[in-house]
Amino acid sequence: MIPDKVEKLLQKARQAIEQRDWEKAKQAYLMALGLKSDLPDVHYGLATVYFNVRELTSAAHHFREVTRLDPLRAGAFVNLGAVLNLLNQYDEALTVLRRAIQIDPQRVEGYYNLGLVYRRKGQIELAVQAYREAIRINPRMADAYLNFANLYVEKEQFRQAVQNYQEALKLRPGWAKASEGLAQAQTALTGETGVAPTPGAARANGATGETAPAPAPRVNLDHNADPVIHATLLNTVHQTSISAEEITLQFEQILLQEVDPVIKELSTCLLYPDGSRSELDACIQRFETAVQHLRQTQGALQKNMSLLKQIAEHFPGV
């Protein structure tokens, strides 16, 4: 139960945030932190304040604390991933965003931020897949359409870019970024085809008239899976990959913390046989226990990798 004094400080901090008085909010949260250091909401509030004043390293620290204290709080993982992306810590950002999606597969912000990270890493195809999944979950996410369109511009697929800029404008009419992007993409498309887009194609401007349907986006099935078609499989891949990473770390810890010490202990017993037979037997028993633990972990990793291979067989072009 939260002490009354801490609860009052949290209320004071929330009121300050509503007023955008970040310094007042920070001081209230810091006082609450001094009274209750293991309360996830205190760290979450501090992280939010630090993010808004662009103290990103501090924001990342407190979002990490939230994930440690409340490991099933998907929103904290999403926000931590977004901050790590801004700090150019892309690999950790990918890890925590995948964890967010594992906790909540319908967390649209997780896929959206995953797309941002993949784009900054130059992994355009993976970014496309992430944005496509974000749009599948929330077809009214204008920002996802905008970023999706920007990616198509980078891929020089201007017809698809035009379509997504138009979708963004349908959801957010008059949006300057989308309007500018649309104009540039239409200009590029005109130069590419030698024919200006017909008025009927510009649905964002409210024009009418029948036009031939635009061709569907081309997908290289040798390298891509469609998140709309393979959403369940992709989610399983995310979860299985994270599990494989966790087992690998566990395998490494067993080697360092269990196997290595007992090997040294057993070597000492064999090289300097001054102790009793029971001491040697105990050394051998500890060695066998550590090796057995290692084998069990290895077996779990092999099962995990086998599952990934089975999943891969369901994707086209694999």
Residue type at position 36: K
Backbone angles phi, psi at 244, to 5 degrees: -60, -40
In this predicted model, which residue has the larger pLDDT, 111 or 230? 111
* Residue 317 maps to a domain: no
What DSSP string describes 217-246?
Answer: PP--TTT---TTTSHHHHHHHHHHHHHHHH
Asked, for residue 37, whether it belongs to a domain, the answer is: yes
**How many angstroms separate the most distant Cα atoms in the chain?**
96
Q: What pLDDT score was predicted for residue 265?
A: 74
Is 254 inside a domain boundary?
A: yes
Give me the pLDDT at residue 272, please. 61
Residues 264, 172 share a domain: no
Q: Locate tokens 């028993």: which residue?
A: 285
Residues 95 and 134 in one domain: yes
Q: How far apart are CA 147 and CA 152, in angstroms?
A: 9
Residue 68 maps to a domain: yes
pLDDT digit string, tens, across residues 220-235 = 434 445 444 455 555 6
Q: Establish how many alpha carbons lie within 13 A of residue 261's alpha carbon, considering only the half-sphere containing its beta carbon.
A: 8
Question: What is the predicted pLDDT for the residue at 207?
Answer: 32
My answer on whether 272 and 153 are in the same domain is no
**Banded model confidence at residue 74, pLDDT cuts 50, 70, 90:** very high
**Contact status, residue 253 vs residue 197, Cβ threshold 8 Å:** no
Q: Is the pLDDT of residue 315 over 60?
A: no
Name, in order, each residue with C-beta under 8 angstroms of 277's C-beta and a sequence gap of 6 or more.
none
Residues 262 and 195 in one domain: no
Q: Is residue 41 part of a domain?
A: yes
- Work out the average pLDDT over 247-267: 74
Instruction: Judge whether 211 lies within some domain.
Output: no
Closest CA to 283 of 299, 298, 297, 265: 265
Residue 37: DSSP 8-state: T
Instruction: Note whether 13 and 144 are same-domain residues.
Output: yes
Last residue of a domain, one of 154, 188, 205: 205
Q: What is the pLDDT of residue 167?
A: 94
57 and 185 housed in the same domain: yes
Domain hosting residue 274, numbered range: 231-312
- How many structural domains compose the chain? 2
Q: Are residues 12 and 109 in the same domain?
A: yes
Predicted confidence (pLDDT) at residue 208 exceeds the cutoff of 60: no
